Structure 1
Amino acid sequence: MITTYIGIGTNVEREKHIKAAYQELNTIGVNLALSPVYACESFGFEGNEFFNMVARLDTELALDELSSALKDIEVKWGRAADAAKFQDRTLDLDILLYGKEISQKKPLLPREDIFKYSFVTQPLYDLDPQLVIPQDGRTIKQILETMSDVDSLKRIDFQF
């Protein structure tokens, strides 16, 4: 079993798609743990406000199998297979970490979003503040402390 962290985002029918991600992730792994859900403005384009969170789970899927399974889930829930990076989305599932794997090919690991976006780093912190990022060597707590936009996140009281 490999412990993986999956970033979850949606800005279309947000409650429906966050719940769908939870249900779907339960089918590809065990010991599922969820961060709180956060609302934040769309980044890189004009769009509806996003709901973002992170899930931690243990899976027997190889990295390429996990990546494929997540793409299949996105498409199942209405995301275009050729969706652009900065646009509205029903469901976005990104592998942030896969064990201690480091990869320079897709999916890039650790995912650079961990270092760039508080809507990724804050939920990771909520799950495991002392998690050490492979290759980087810093903890999630240390990375989060360098971010200036954490106050822009709004924690949502979300019921699964």
Structure 2
Amino acid sequence: MAQVFLGLGSNRRRYHHIAAGVRALHQEFASAGKPLRVARVYESEAIGFAGNDFLNTVVQLQTELSIGDLSKACKAIERAHGHPSSAAKYSPRTLDIDVLLYNQEVCETPVQLPRAEILHNAFVLRPLAELAAELEHPVAGKSFAQLWQNYRSEQRLHAVDFKFEDLPYLITPTDNKDS
């Protein structure tokens, strides 16, 4: 069983699409003994293009899917929520789901792991550090809490009030005692 961390982001109908993404991941992956954990939701500026601010969070789950099949499942959820696979990298998003970590795997295909943006974007590192403070980055060799503590950037980031659906096997920020 693989421990996985996914980054979710949206800057179009943001609250709707973050909630829909968490709901879809819950339906696909959560069950007794395999809860879905969600970090706080953060607002940040668009990076790489001029656009509306994004909402971002990180979801932790367990799966028996391979990295490739997990990535395909995430892309199918994106498409189901209006994100075409042909969209430019730096463009508005209804829902973007990226595999950040899959156990401690380090690879370039079928996706880059660990995802490089973990170390560069506050909207990824901060919620990841909330869910996995003591877990070490498989390349940097430091815990995510240490990486966040030492993070330096001009990126604007702030937590927003976000009410998640009350779903079985969903652990939200109010349930995460160490957040």
Same-fold status (TM-score > 0.5) = yes
Q: Deviations over 1:19-39 (max 9, x none)?
A: 111111112323100000000
- For 1:77, which of 68, 77, 81 is the aligned residue? 81
Matched, 1:144 2:144: no
Q: Which residue number corresponds to residue 2 of structure 1?
A: 2
TM-score calculated relative to the size of structure 1: 0.95
Q: What secondary structure does 2:136 align onto?
A: coil
Structure 2 residue 44 is matched with structure 1 residue 49: no
Query: Is 2:11 the partner of 1:11?
Result: yes
Q: Distance in 2 between matches of 1:157 and 1:7?
A: 18
Where do residues 26-65 of structure 1 align in structure 2 (5 Å cutoff)?
Answer: 26-30=26-30, 31-65=35-69
Query: Once the 2 structures are TM-superposed, how far is the Cα of residue 101 of structure 1 from its aligned partner?
Result: 1.2
DSSP 3-state at the match of 2:37: strand
TM-score (ref. length: structure 2): 0.85
The runs of at least 4 aligned residues of structure 1 exceeding 6 Å deviation read: none
1:144 CA drift (Å)? 1.3
Q: Residue 122 of structure 2 contacts residue 155 of structure 2 at CA under 8 Å; is this kept in 1?
A: no
In the aligned structure 1, how far is the partner of 2:10 from the partner of 2:124? 13
The structure-2 alpha-carbon separation of the partners of 1:19 and 1:42, relative to structure 1 and needing over 3 Å to count, comes to same
Counterpart CA distance in 2 for 1:70 and 1:154 is 26
Q: Which runs of 5+ in 2 are unaligned?
A: 165-179
Q: SS of 1:133's equivalent?
A: coil
Q: 1:121 to 1:18 in 2, by over 3 A?
A: same
Correspondence for 2:107 among 93, 103, 109: 103
Return the letter of the residue paired with 1:36: R
Please, what is the CA RMSD of the aligned residues?
A: 1.3
- The separation in 1 between residues aligned to 2:86 and 2:16, in whole angstroms, is 22
Any conservation in 2 of the 1:29–1:60 contact (CA below 8 Å)? no
| Alignment deviations for residues 68-105 of structure 1 (CA, whole Å, 9 cap, x no partner) | 00001101100111111110000000000001111122
Match for 1:130 among 126, 131, 134? 134
Q: CA deviation at 1:138?
A: 1.0
- The residue matched to 1:26 in structure 2 has which SS? helix
Alignment counterpart, residue 121 of structure 1, candidates 122, 125, 137: 125
CA contact (8 A) 1:29 1:58 kept: yes
CA–CA distance in structure 2, aligned partners of residues 126 and 150 of structure 1: 20
User: Residue type matched to 1:136 in 2?
Assistant: A
CA apart distance, 1:136: 2.4
CA contact (8 A) 2:45 2:155 kept: no
